[in-house]
Amino acid sequence: MSYHSTTIKSKWVKTKWLLKNASIRKYVPRTLLFNRSNLSTLLSQHSTVFFKPTGGTGGFNIVRIKKRDHGYQVQHNSQKNHCATKDSLYHQLQKRAKNRSYLLQKGIKLATVKGRPFDIRVMVQKSNDGVWKSTALFTKVGMPGKVATNYHQGGELGYFRTTLSRAGFSQSSIERKEKELKKLGKSVGKLFDKHSRGFRELGLDIALDSKGNVWILEVNTRPQFYPLKHLNDKTLYRNIMAYAKQYGRKK
């Protein structure tokens, strides 16, 4: 897909940019590069830790590590196995990494709809006059028992307000969240512009935890939105496309 918008593949580079900004830093779950001592640090402080490739997309190769009474449960997709010690866990992850760079991130317990976890995508785009706008919010509702909510992992797309309402959020809190997320999207756009040139679109993957706190899981510089075509209401898709055409993106 050739169109003009800067791409940054490394999740670590993007995470470091977010952490440098005082007002955005509070939205980033604790994230460290994978190595033995960082694994030990995070597991001593958090009951769930995610292990994800620095350059991966589509929710592939993400592993969830959960502390158990006797060791650690390791889950990839729907497959689970058990490591009795931190050492055996480290070696299993190291084998999986095959010398590629991976990140460790504090696990956020996602809010759920009827037992299915969901996260939120905030689509942010820049118009030809250089102004960032949050053009669409939608949800990705995961399959029960899967690690990632991505469309490629069997997840379904949903409407932001409908999903939050079904998850038990009140009308007023949904409106507050929508405002907060749209503002955050624009702030991240402006922040990325300080670090590199040529960005026209970003897709923020946002988690709401069970208390309703907002967390930035990741910022995608080549966000996919073609699955929105399959929603009955095409407004979101049309909103995004109206901006996308300005920088030559066709779908």
- How confident is the model over 38-81, as pLDDT tens digits? 999 999 999 999 999 998 766 678 899 999 999 999 999 889 99
Residues 181 and 217 occupy one common structural domain? yes
State the residue for tokens 């946002």: 206
pLDDT band at 113 (very low <50, low <70, confident <90, very high): very high
Residue range of the domain that includes 89: 31-106
Does 120 reside within a domain?
yes
Indicate the number of domains in the chain.
Answer: 2
Picking from 31-40, 183-192, 219-228, which range would have the lowest pLDDT averaged per residue?
219-228
Residue 197 domain-assigned? yes
Whether 95 and 159 map to the same domain: the answer is no
Asked whether 102 and 51 are in contact (CB, 8 A), the reply is yes
Rounded distance between C-alpha atoms, residue 157 and residue 173, angstroms: 21
Structural domain contains residue 216: yes
CATH of residue 68's domain is 3.30.1490
Q: How far is CA 139 from CA 178, 221, 245, 248, in A?
A: 12, 18, 23, 26
Say yes or no: 143 and 20 in one domain. Answer: yes
127-170 tens-digit pLDDT:
999 999 999 999 999 887 777 666 556 678 999 999 999 999 99
- Residue 70 and residue 162 in one domain: no
Is 5 contained in some domain?
Answer: no
**Same domain, yes or no: 55 and 75:** yes
46/121 same-domain check: no
137 with 188, same domain: the answer is yes
Q: What is the pLDDT of residue 227?
A: 86
Confidence band of 2 (pLDDT split at 50, 70, 90): confident
pLDDT value at 83 more than 80: yes
Pairwise pLDDT comparison (153 vs 113), residue with the higher score: 113
Q: Rounded distance, CA 66 to CA 115, Å?
A: 18
Rounded CA-CA distance 8/223 in Å is 12
Same domain, 102 and 165: no
Averaged confidence pLDDT in the chain: 93
Same domain, 120 and 193: yes
Q: What is the 3-state secondary structure (H, E, C) of the chain?
A: CCCCCCCCCCHHHHHHHHHCCHHHHCCCCCEEECCHHHHHHHHHHCCEEEEEECCCCCCCCCEEEEEECCEEEEEECCEEEEECCHHHHHHHHHHHHCCCCEEEEECCCECEECCEEEEEEEEEEECCCCCEEEEEEEEEECCCCCCCCCHHHCCEEEEHHHHHHHCCCCHHHHHHHHHHHHHHHHHHHHHHHHHCCCCCEEEEEEEEECCCCEEEEEEECCCCCHHHHHCCCCHHHHHHHHHHHHHCCCC
pTM, entire model: 0.92
Residues listed for the chain: 251
Q: What is the pLDDT of residue 16?
A: 97
In a domain, 3, yes or no: no
Is the predicted pLDDT of residue 243 greater than 70, yes or no? yes
Q: By percentage, how much of the chain surpasses pLDDT 90?
A: 84
pLDDT at 172 over 60: yes
Region 104-108 average pLDDT: 96
- What Å distances lie between residue 55 and 100, 103, 120, 148, 198, CA to CA? 9, 10, 20, 16, 20
Residue 1 within any structural domain of the chain: no
Name the domain boundary from 87, 106, 125: 106
Residue that is written with structure tokens 């994978």 in the block: 34
Q: How far apart, in Å, do the first and last CA atoms of the chain sit?
A: 9
Is the residue at 4 inside a domain? no
Distance CA 136, CA 187 (A): 15
Indicate whether 49 and 146 sit together in one domain: no
Residue 8, pLDDT above cutoff 70:
yes
What pLDDT, on the 0 to 100 scale, is given for residue 18?
Answer: 98
User: Can you give the CATH number for the domain in which 161 is found?
Assistant: 3.30.470.20
Same domain, residue pair 99 and 118: no
Looking at 77, 106, 135, which one is the last position of a domain? 106
Do residue 165 and residue 202 come from a single domain? yes
Q: Which of 65, 89, 106 is the last residue of a domain?
A: 106
Q: What is the pLDDT of residue 154?
A: 67
Q: What is the pLDDT of residue 210?
A: 86
pLDDT on residue 1: 59
Interatomic CA distance for residues 66 and 68, integer angstroms: 6
